[in-house]
């Protein structure tokens, strides 16, 4: 053995020890990284292992796999830091999972799940309410204001309404489905029976409450349409008339007079024709819904699922059924009253303004539908209150009646029922106050 060999071996061993033991990548930041990793602020001390995949279930093979995967990391971190990194990553993963579980029940998590479509609005409201949070109320519908002006009745001094979440209701299904995945077929909702497709026309699912969505073939045409106010007006105005009165027709002259006031009749007719042809050219799926038969123009509602029409249908069915609601009808009524609280055609005034204006007749159509909605909701709530009273659920009945009276303060009969309900519930002061405001006698 050469005499220099031991010394050389010592040198090699010392260098190898240092190379193996010491961290080689940003050693100054390791303690902070370890802290962040343990807290779950980051997944790995540095980067992830180079190969990520399925590990064998056999321990020996798994060790070899890890040896290959972790060699580079082990070299970078050093033998002493590497186990600490593993431990920190393991603890961090646990912390992250724990935090995720908590987040899913937090307000952020619930909203996130709602926006992702994992839970419905009723479920969201119920859970937020349970946690003491409140969703902001929807903007007040214009119809409410109009109807309050119309009905000159004494101003109510009721306590603030309890949130909708307090009304015991099952999760609400949105009437309009989310667009299906590409290639998939549109999801059929339980709450709306299948609408037979019209000849040669695609099925349109139209949401006009809360927001405007027009879904066909899984695509929402609403945003594009609303981006072009003239086209939006040309499509939505006949649609609103159809909703107000099914089968409604208007003459081109009337439409022209509404939209092109101040111009001569020929220009008005030309303007209407231009708008119609413009819509048919740029949005054929929507344009073909506007039927033009000589002088008359109307909306073809065949094969259309329109949420507000559905609400009216439910209101009618509920009214006929009275207190003998089936469970299915009861659920449908709950959903419908919640939908009816949303604004009909939000943003309509802006569309009219940008589309070149319209005279009072245009606004009247919308206001009329909104008033119909208020009446429909009030009717549904009244029936629901009747059902709750027949089941001796006074608390729910009061809740429904309070909403109903708020929606239609002109309805003395509702106020009387609410006062009676207060009385039966032992809220004598409230009952007396309400009777006084409405001039009701106790025995009436």
Among 27, 50, 108, 391, indicate the residue that binds another protein (CB under 8 A): 108
Report the C-alpha gap between 371 and 257 in whole angstroms.
Answer: 25
By CB under 8 A, residue 360 contacts another protein = no
Q: Which residue has the tokens 């992830």?
A: 48
Rg (CA), the chain: 33
Residue 67, interface with another protein (CB under 8 A)? yes
According to the binding rule CB under 8 A, does residue 182 interact with another protein? no
Q: Compute how many residues bind another protein; rule: CB under 8 A.
A: 78
136 binds another protein (CB under 8 A): yes
Determine, following the binding rule CB under 8 A, whether residue 223 of this chain makes contact with another protein.
Answer: yes
Measured from the CB atom, the residue of 339 and 383 that comes closer to another protein is 339
User: Min. distance of Cβ 40 from another protein in angstroms?
Assistant: 10
Among 112, 254, 285, 321, binds another protein (CB under 8 A): 112
**Site for another protein, residues 23 to 42, rule: CB under 8 A:** 26, 29, 32-33, 36, 41-42
Measure the CA–CA gap between 372 and 311, rounded to whole angstroms.
10
Binding-site member from 50, 72, 134, 291 for another protein (CB under 8 A): 134
- Residue 201 sits in the site that holds another protein (CB under 8 A): no
- Sequence-ordered list of residues with C-beta below 8 angstroms from that of 46, at least 6 positions apart, any chain: 25, 26, 33, 73, 76, 77
| DSSP one-letter string for 274-322 | HHHHHHHHH-HHHHTTEEEETTEEEE--TTEEEHHHHHHHHHHHHHHHT
- Give least dist CB 228 to another protein, A: 9
Which of these, 392, 338, 378, lies nearest to 126 by C-alpha position? 338
Q: Which is nearer to another protein, 77 or 276 (CB)?
A: 77
Closest C-alpha to 174, from 190, 198, 157, 197: 190
Applying CB under 8 A, the span of 79-87, 150-158, 184-192, 292-300 interacting with another protein comes to: 79-87
Q: Which is nearer to another protein, 127 or 252 (CB)?
A: 127
Contact (Cβ atoms closer than 8 angstroms) between residue 53 and residue 109 = no
Looking at beta carbons only, is 131 or 390 nearer to another protein?
Answer: 131
- The single-letter DSSP state of residue 166 is G
Site for another protein in 400-439 (CB under 8 A): none
Span of 74-82, 278-286, 376-384, 426-434 interacting with another protein by CB under 8 A: 74-82
Q: Which stretch binds another protein (CB under 8 A): 60-68, 190-198, 246-254, 276-284?
A: 60-68
CB 279 within 8 A of CB 286: yes
**Cβ-based nearer residue to another protein, 316 or 353:** 353
Q: How many Cα atoms within 13 Å fall on the side-chain side of residue 291?
A: 12
Which pairing describes strands 296-299 and 290-293: parallel, antiparallel, or unpaired?
A: antiparallel
CA atoms within 13 A on the CB side of 307: 28
In the complex, minimum distance from the CB of residue 259 to another protein, in angstroms, rounded to a whole number: 17
Residue 311: name the closest of 378, 247, 249 by CA. Answer: 378
One of 27, 83, 217, 322 touching another protein (CB under 8 A): 83
Asked if 217 interacts with another protein (CB under 8 A), we say no
**Angle, CA of 252, 254 and 256, to the nearest 5°:** 65
Q: Which of 24, 27, 31, 47 touches another protein by CB under 8 A?
A: 47
1 binds another protein (CB under 8 A): yes
């Amino acid at each position: 053995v050469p005499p220099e060999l031991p010394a050389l071996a010592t040198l090699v061993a010392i260098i190898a020890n240092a190379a193996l033991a010491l961290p080689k990548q940003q050693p100054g930041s390791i303690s902070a990284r370890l802290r962040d990793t343990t807290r779950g602020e980051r997944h790995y001390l540095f980067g992830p292992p180079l190969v990520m995949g399925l590990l064998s279930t056999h321990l020996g093979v798994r060790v070899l796999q890890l040896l290959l995967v972790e060699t580079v990391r082990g070299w970078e971190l050093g033998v002493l830091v590497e186990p600490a990194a593993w431990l920190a990553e393991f603890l961090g993963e646990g912390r992250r999972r724990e935090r995720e579980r908590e987040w899913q029940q937090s307000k952020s998590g619930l909203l996130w799940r709602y926006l992702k479509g994992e839970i419905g609005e009723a479920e969201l409201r119920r859970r937020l309410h349970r946690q003491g949070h409140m969703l902001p109320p929807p903007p007040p519908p214009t119809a409410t204001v109009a109807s309050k002006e119309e009905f000159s009745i004494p101003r109510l001094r009721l306590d603030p309404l309890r949130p909708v979440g307090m009304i015991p209701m099952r999760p609400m299904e949105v009437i309009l489905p989310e667009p299906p995945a590409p290639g998939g077929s549109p999801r059929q909702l339980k709450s709306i029976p299948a609408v037979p497709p019209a000849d040669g026309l695609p099925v349109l699912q139209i949401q006009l409450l809360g927001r405007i969505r027009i879904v066909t073939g899984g695509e929402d045409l609403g945003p594009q349409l609303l981006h072009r106010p003239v086209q939006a007006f040309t499509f939505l105005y006949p649609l609103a008339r159809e909703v107000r009165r099914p089968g409604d027709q208007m003459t081109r002259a009337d439409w022209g007079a509404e939209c092109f006031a101040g111009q001569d009749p020929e220009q008005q007719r030309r303007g209407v024709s231009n708008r119609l042809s413009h819509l048919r050219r740029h949005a054929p799926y929507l344009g073909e819904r506007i039927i033009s038969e000589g002088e008359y123009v109307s909306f073809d509602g065949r094969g259309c699922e329109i949420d507000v029409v559905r609400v009216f249908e439910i209101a009618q069915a509920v009214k006929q059924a009275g207190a003998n609601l089936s469970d299915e009808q009861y659920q449908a009524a709950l959903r419908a009253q919640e939908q009816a609280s949303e604004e009909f055609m939000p943003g309509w005034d802006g569309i009219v303004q940008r589309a070149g204006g319209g005279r009072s007749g245009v606004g009247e159509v919308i206001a009329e539908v909104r008033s119909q909605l208020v009446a429909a909701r009030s009717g549904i709530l009244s029936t629901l209150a009747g059902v709750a009273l027949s089941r001796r659920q006074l608390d729910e009945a009061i809740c429904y009646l309070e909403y109903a009276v708020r929606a239609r303060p002109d309805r003395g009969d509702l106020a009387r029922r609410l006062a009676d309900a207060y009385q039966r519930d032992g809220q004598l002061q409230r009952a007396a106050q309400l009777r006084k405001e409405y001039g009701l006698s106790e025995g009436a």
